[in-house]
Chain A
Amino acid sequence: MLHAVDGVDFAIDGGRTLGVVGESGCGKSTLGRTILRLTEPTDGEVLYDGEDITRFSVPQMNAIRRDLQLIFQDPLSSLNPRMTVFEIIAEPLKVFRVTSGRDEMDDRVASLMKTVGLADRFSNSYPHELDGGRRQRIGIARALASNPRFIVCDEPVSALDVSIQAQILNLLMDLQEERGISYMFITHNLSVVKHISQEIMVMYLGQCIEKAPSEELFANPLHPYTRALLAAIPVPSLEARKKRKGAIKGEVSNPVDPKPGCRFAPRCSLVSGECAAEGVALRETCAGHFVACVKTGRAHE
């Protein structure tokens, strides 16, 4: 049995951002989709305003979907190629019946395009006629159309040029400030996540292995995997090149029926017998900093 996401616990407060970091295939995206019930969970709870939405019926779910939105990684494949920019942004307004009448819808779409920084003249363009940054702005406008309170951002800048990445990140942060939206920000880019989130969760093979406030995680990483991730951030200096060490060896182990104990153990430099023991739980080492590691977690206590 493959568990793409297995026993992950977290909470996101209003107007805050949780960054979710991990390598390809660790279950970041599945986690995001499960929260929105685009993938049905086999077990567990998703609480929204204290209610477990995994038990909601389809009409109940559709009623709260306007509050919970999603921004995708690939801005082209996430936009219907047969619809114009206007139609794409108007679609949520039609589905949720947000606006009454054609004029109000025109106004709403125009103001949404303005909010995300898209010029009016693009409203009759098709997504493939625009560049990556503008496409992603369409995706953001679509997500904003229903006035959501929470948005899952699934690697929203990974497919963009570095110069555009900053623009999109700043746009997302401005929107958060103005509208108090909460984000779950999924990425494999640590510098991006540091920039945007107050709290960071590191995932490995479907499990949360470390969770801490951003500053704390970067200043004081505890899990060997987190340390290796941080060590892998390129530093633009000749000196740094010589000092670089601690790269992880080996491949991610098979996620089907994983062995008990720490899932990172086969690749870990600190591994010893006790790592194979049952149940490596998250424990709090200092305020708000949780880590799931037998070695470093204890050493710090």
Chain B
Amino acid sequence: MPKGASKRGQVQMTWSRYRKSKLAMLGLVTVSVLFFAALAIPLFKDYEMAIEQDFSSRYQPIGAGHIFGTDQFGRDIFIRMVFGARISLLVGIATVSASLVAGAFIGAAAGYYGGRLDEILMRIMDVFLAIPNTLLAISIVAALGQGITNLLIALAISQVPSFARVVRASILTVKEQDYIEAARALGTSNARIIARHILPNAIGPIIVQTTLNVARTILNISSLSFVGLGISPPTPEWGSMLADAKPQMLQYPHLILIPGAAIAITVMAINLVGDGLRDALDPRLRN
């Protein structure tokens, strides 16, 4: 594909290249199933089923009545998994969207204006990048206090630098094109140049980064919940289910295997989608 491709053309070409990779398709199917389960099943099941305790049916094995069995409080693990998926995916997407918007503003300003503004903004981003992602999120939650809103803020802040860097890099490659000069010759405002002429042409790497960050966020939510800083019980969440199951993991391994496997599969599937998108959007592989 020539470097200038149309909206229609590019989506079609990307899809046809994406389809060629079996792993990427496996990832896409898995993610679709997860999304469907997370959004559709809660419509038919009551949220109460995920939190109400029933001591008459503790530690049920897999199968018979409860597909994934029940936990130490007699709650259906399958239902809890589904509601947990909904929280992970929704919080994941919400935080990534928030940090994408913030990162895009910072990266666009730094890349487009350059000079001292670029220097100041990117050095601040470097400070954030120097702190490990999870550690940064833990410190922010510890400072703000527990709760879904604070978790969301903490995760969003910790992702902003990675978006700022990607957006800035993409903008630097587009900025020098003649059509930007043509827009400047028209006296187009900087905001309009960025929104109409630069961002639409710099979107590829940003999409990939977004996908990969959703996976990372889901992992971070689970990690934080596992150490007790994320979503607190009784709200079903994969990480806190792991933590709850830890004491009985030798007697009842399915309690820990199911949420563990779900986290691993989800993160891997989203990463496969991200890798597939990266390959499909990479201009060097275009044919």
**A→B interface (CB under 8 Å):** 33, 36, 38, 61-62, 65-66, 68-70, 72-74, 76-84, 91-92, 95-96, 126-129, 139, 142, 146
Contact = CB atoms under 8 A, between A and B. Distances in A.
A92 B186 contact: yes
B9 A128 contact: yes
A81 B185 CA distance: 18
Interface residues of B, number: 24
Contact of B186 (A82, A83, A129, A146): A146
B245 interface: no
Nearest to A87: B196
A38 B184 contact: yes
A55 B200 CA distance: 34
Contacts of B4: 76-77, 79, 81, 126-128
B179 A77 contact: yes
Nearest to A77: B178
B185 A126 contact: no
B181 A70 contact: yes
B2 to A, nearest CB: 5
B181 A126 contact: no
| Chain B contact residues, majority secondary structure | helix
A48 B104 CA distance: 39
Contact of A95 (B9, B188, B200): B188
B192 A36 contact: no
Contacts of A146: 186
Given A82-B6, A128-B5, A128-B6, A95 B187 contact: yes
19 contacts: A38-B181, A61-B187, A66-B186, A68-B185, A70-B182, A72-B182, A73-B178, A77-B4, A77-B177, A77-B178, A78-B177, A79-B179, A80-B200, A82-B6, A91-B183, A91-B196, A95-B186, A128-B2, A139-B182
A148 to B, nearest CB: 10
A61 B200 CA distance: 27
B2 A36 contact: no
Contacts of B5: 81, 126, 128
B5 to A, nearest CB: 6
